């Protein structure tokens, strides 16, 4: 996506047409690139409108070429849209810090929970994982296996069917041990089913996590936006992790979810292995 955007910008700079015509051309190219990357159409429309308005209204400061100023506008609007200019803050500010993961089934929550645990363990934190997924029979086993692999303790009990109770127990268990970070892995059914959202709401109300992170599957494209909206209405989403960003050109759909929640993308998952996690960099 970035390479195509660069190409469109180069074309804009090299254009011999009038400024207004070159802006129009560029915006059309930009729209094509974003739509192809599966960014939501309304998001693309609003972005184009803002860029066009600023491009025609703003006077560049003395000595700055209008076309150079336009590039600054484009850069600003794109970074604003996709989560700020700098890398997101991922440091734990308060201890113990309770991080709850939500998302639909198969989005990558359990894998991401382990990835995050390893990420923070490597930063020197004492991390505990809680399995609050009482829906999938093998959920506890899956997390337990991942926990063993990375040397992180997992709290869970496959016999308990009350996810809120499990989450509360797990949190107090690790709090009692003086851990810095407790990551809660939750259940996900298919789609934004009411029951799931209700369950997430209940856990969030009782556990009061410091942060709720939505895990989105990068390959779902356009479905990311309604999904993010539905979760955000049930529990305020504080951050986003985009899983499975490896091997898809459709990551733009998940980027649209940022607009729906107002939350920033903090991490991306780039493979099935627990080590394949990166802090999201909005500039790449």
Ligand X SMILES: Nc1nc2c(ncn2[C@@H]2O[C@H](COP(=O)(O)OP(=O)(O)O)[C@@H](O)[C@H]2O)c(=O)[nH]1
What ranges make up the beta strands (E) of 67-208? 97-102, 127-132, 153-155, 181-186
Q: Does 272 bind ligand X (CB under 6 A)?
A: yes
Q: Does 110 bind Mg ion (CB under 5 A)?
A: yes
Residue nearest to Mg ion (CB): 110
Phi first, then psi: what are they for 46, rounded to 5°?
-65, -40
**What stretches of 37-65 show up as alpha helix (H) in DSSP?**
41-57
SS3 state at 266: strand
CA pair distance 102, 241, nearest whole angstrom? 10
The residue from 129, 243, 255, 259 that contacts ligand X (CB under 6 A) is 243
Do the beta carbons of residue 35 and residue 44 sit within 8 Å?
yes
- Which of Mg ion, ligand X, none binds 198 (CB below 5-8 Å, type-dependent)? none
40 or 112, CB closer to Mg ion?
112
The residue from 46, 105, 202, 210 that contacts ligand X (CB under 6 A) is 105
CA distances from 108 to 36, 91, 155, 157, 270 (A): 24, 22, 19, 21, 11
- One character per residue 110-139, x = contact with ligand X (rule: CB under 6 A): xx----------------------------
Q: Does 109 bind ligand X (CB under 6 A)?
A: yes
Residue linked to tokens 């994982």: 129
Structure tokens at 265: 């993308």
Q: Does 188 bind ligand X (CB under 6 A)?
A: yes
SS3 state at 29: helix
Q: Does 144 bind ligand X (CB under 6 A)?
A: no
**Least distance in angstroms from the C-beta of 112 to ligand X:** 6
143 or 260, CB closer to Mg ion?
143
Q: Does 235 bind Mg ion (CB under 5 A)?
A: no
Q: Does 261 bind Mg ion (CB under 5 A)?
A: no
């Amino acid at each position: 996506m970035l390479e195509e955007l660069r190409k469109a910008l180069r074309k804009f700079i090299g254009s011999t047409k009038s400024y207004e015509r070159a802006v129009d051309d560029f915006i059309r190219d930009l729209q094509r690139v974003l739509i192809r990357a599966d960014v939501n159409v309304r998001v693309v429309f609003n972005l184009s409108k803002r860029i066009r308005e600023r491009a025609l209204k703003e006077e560049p400061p003395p000595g700055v070429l209008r076309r150079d100023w336009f590039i600054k506008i484009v850069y600003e609007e794109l970074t604003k849209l996709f989560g700020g200019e700098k890398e997101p803050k991922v440091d734990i500010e308060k201890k113990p810090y309770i991080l709850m993961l939500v998302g639909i089934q198969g989005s990558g929550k359990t894998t991401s929970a382990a990835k995050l645990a390893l990420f923070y363990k490597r930063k020197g934190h004492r991390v505990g994982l809680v399995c609050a997924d009482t829906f999938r029979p093998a959920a506890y086993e899956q997390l337990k296996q991942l926990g063993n692999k990375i040397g992180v303790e997992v709290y869970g009990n496959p016999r308990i069917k009350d996810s809120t109770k499990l989450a509360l127990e797990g949190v107090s268990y690790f709090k009692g041990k003086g851990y810095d970070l407790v990551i809660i892995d939750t259940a996900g059914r298919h789609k934004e089913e009411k029951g799931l959202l209700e369950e997430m709401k209940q856990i969030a109300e009782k556990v009061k996590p410091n942060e709720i992170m939505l895990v989105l599957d990068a390959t779902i494209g356009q479905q990311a936006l309604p999904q993010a909206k539905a979760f955000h209405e049930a529990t305020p989403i504080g951050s986003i992790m985009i899983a499975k960003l490896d091997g898809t050109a459709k990551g733009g759909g998940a980027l649209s979810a940022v607009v729906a929640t107002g939350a920033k993308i903090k991490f991306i998952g780039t493979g099935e292995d627990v080590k394949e996690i990166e802090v999201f960099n909005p500039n790449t």
